[in-house]
């Protein structure tokens, strides 16, 4: 970890010229730039700390629930609004408050940021692209800075400007500047209205100035239950919850840096879709050395962080973009069903997620009086059974047709069954059944 520099009380270089500095971030914004996207406190109670047995033991390739209309929006259920994304995001951290008293927590943050961009988890953000063809790339660690002031209710924008204009951090057009307050610092709305947020502004507040993307995340005190995981985590629930909120804000700032790129129809950004989610992707979870719940290992540390929304395959909360979508379409008339690989679809369209390259086997069951005629998009078909390798999003479509009209040729049957009359009962019945098979005519 780089050495910290202790900052005394700094005078904001542009505070006199910028009337926004010192604004309450929860108040009505004076400009579009002051609009804030926040991660809200969890509404889960302590009971939510117990995973359902089905989720705790999830090891199947299939997702625990089919895709459905849970999240509004077309396509992957998150909508592109036309703004840019950050192709080369870089994280800068300002540790504000008494971090010298909890230096190990600051080390955890730095260690996470030095390795986060190389993880499959961060790779989820590559599913977000803009009209220029840019996709969100791996996030890198820029620098950190210790602002040793302990003023209560600091203005994060002023703190960021102080750090840059004071020469403690460089200005970076790709930078995301996060103000992280120690647990002894209070900020209006923290814990009650938000656990963290991100927004954008201008470095000097002038119209032709450099864009500035920044945010806030606080380490919650023990009394802030809504911003703390309700179970034991590798490094302690307060710091791991703060780190989870940090990843939440970083991935939103990278995919929606100017608040005009990616949201769903309710205004939620990608990480909002999965906020405080600790049930999805249980297959990634493991027990850390201290007995806590973990789901990612970065550098030399274990962490527990929330999933992120994958902008592909219909959209889903994941720890990696490693699933593909299968859509099973059964015509409303005449109906029928398809079952296999852990699911049953009884009509209409059914959507499910499986791990990429899963080998799936489905059997079509026709309705009464029908038979399978086609099974579209299978890799192979044996009887009524379809087999495929799911290496891309796919749809399969069974086609059922009426069975052909068949009738018994009575003359043929009478001639054949004459030889059955003198046989014992069981043999006579078998003989008559054989005659029916021989004499049944299908056009």
- Residue 101 is predicted with a pLDDT of 87
May I ask the CATH architecture of the domain 323-402?
A: Roll (3.10)
132-172: pLDDT as tens digits: 889 999 999 999 999 999 999 999 999 999 999 999 999 99
DSSP reduced 3-state for 46: helix
Q: What are the E-state strand segments in 102-226?
A: 140-147, 175-181, 196-202, 211-218
- Residue 23 is predicted with a pLDDT of 33
Highest-confidence segment of 16-20, 202-206, 391-395: 391-395
The one-character DSSP state at 218 is E
Average pLDDT over residues 28-38: 56
What residues does each domain of the chain span? 32-60+73-312, 323-402, 407-441
Q: Distance of CA 57 to CAs 53, 281, 297, 406, Å?
A: 6, 10, 20, 51
Is the pLDDT confidence value at 295 over 90? yes
pLDDT band at 189 (very low <50, low <70, confident <90, very high): very high
Relative to beta strand 394-402, strand 370-376 is antiparallel
Average pLDDT over residues 91-115: 95
Q: Show Cβ contacts of residue 183 under 8 Å, excluding neighbours closer than 6 positions.
A: 102, 218, 219, 220, 221, 238
Q: Token pair for residue 109?
A: 């943050």
pLDDT band at 419 (very low <50, low <70, confident <90, very high): confident
pLDDT band at 349 (very low <50, low <70, confident <90, very high): confident
Identify the CA nearest to 198 among candidates 251, 244, 158: 251
pLDDT band at 55 (very low <50, low <70, confident <90, very high): very low
* Range of weakest confidence among 27-41, 165-179, 217-231, 284-298: 27-41
Rounded CA separation 178/182 (Å): 13
- Residue 222 is predicted with a pLDDT of 85
- Residue 200 is predicted with a pLDDT of 94
Start-to-end C-alpha separation, the chain: 82
Is the pLDDT confidence value at 259 over 50? yes
- State the helix-helix crossing angle for 410-417 and 425-439, rounded to 10 degrees: 150
297-315: pLDDT as tens digits: 999 999 999 999 999 998 9
Is the pLDDT confidence value at 428 over 60? yes
- Residue 207 is predicted with a pLDDT of 59
- Residue 434 is predicted with a pLDDT of 86
Rounded CA separation 307/288 (Å): 18
Is the pLDDT confidence value at 280 over 90? no
Is the pLDDT confidence value at 249 over 90? yes
Rounded CA separation 3/203 (Å): 26
- Residue 2 is predicted with a pLDDT of 31
Q: Token pair for residue 410?
A: 């009575």
Rounded CA separation 401/381 (Å): 17
Is the pLDDT confidence value at 40 over 70? yes
CA 165 to chain centre: 37
């Amino acid at each position: 970890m780089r050495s910290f520099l202790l900052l005394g009380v700094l005078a904001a270089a542009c505070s006199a010229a910028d009337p926004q500095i010192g604004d309450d971030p929860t108040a009505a914004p004076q400009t579009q730039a002051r609009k804030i996207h926040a991660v809200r406190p969890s509404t889960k109670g302590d009971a939510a700390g117990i995973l359902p047995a089905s989720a705790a033991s999830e090891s199947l390739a299939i997702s625990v629930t089919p895709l459905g209309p849970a999240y509004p929006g077309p396509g992957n259920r998150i909508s592109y609004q036309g703004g840019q994304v950050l192709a080369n995001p870089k994280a800068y951290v300002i540790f504000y408050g008494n971090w010298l008293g909890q230096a190990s927590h600051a080390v955890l943050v730095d260690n996470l940021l030095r390795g986060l961009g190389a993880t499959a988890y961060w790779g989820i953000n590559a599913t977000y692209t803009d009209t220029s063809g840019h996709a969100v790339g791996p996030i890198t660690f820029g620098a950190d800075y210790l602002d040793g002031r302990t003023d209560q209710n600091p203005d994060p924008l002023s703190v960021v400007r102080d750090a840059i204009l004071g020469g403690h951090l460089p200005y970076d057009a790709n930078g995301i500047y996060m103000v992280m307050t120690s647990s002894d610092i209070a900020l209006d709305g923290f814990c009650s209205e938000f656990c963290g947020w991100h927004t954008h502004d201008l470095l000097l507040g002038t119209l032709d100035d450099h864009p500035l993307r920044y945010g806030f995340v606080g380490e919650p005190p023990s009394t802030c239950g809504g911003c703390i995981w309700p179970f034991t985590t590798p490094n302690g629930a307060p710091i791991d919850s703060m780190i989870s909120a940090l990843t939440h804000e970083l991935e939103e700032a990278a995919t929606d840096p100017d608040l005009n790129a990616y949201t769903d129809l309710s205004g939620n950004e990608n990480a909002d879709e999965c906020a405080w989610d600790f049930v999805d992707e249980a297959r990634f979870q493991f027990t850390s050395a201290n007995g806590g719940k973990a789901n990612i290992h970065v550098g030399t540390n274990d962490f527990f962080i929330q999933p992120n929304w994958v902008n592909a395959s219909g959209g889903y909360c994941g720890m990696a973009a490693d699933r593909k979508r299968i859509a099973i379409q059964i015509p409303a008339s005449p109906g029928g069903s398809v079952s296999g690989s852990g699911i049953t679809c009884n009509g209409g369209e059914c959507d499910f997620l499986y791990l990429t390259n899963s080998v799936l086997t489905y059997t079509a069951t026709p309705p009464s009086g029908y038979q399978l005629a086609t099974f579209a998009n299978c890799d192979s078909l044996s009887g009524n059974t379809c087999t495929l390798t799911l290496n891309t999003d796919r749809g399969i479509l069974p086609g059922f047709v009426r069975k052909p009209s068949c009738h018994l040729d009575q003359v043929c049957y009478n001639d054949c069954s004459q030889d059955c009359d003198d046989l014992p009962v069981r043999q006579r019945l078998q003989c008559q059944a054989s005659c029916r098979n021989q004499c049944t005519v299908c056009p």
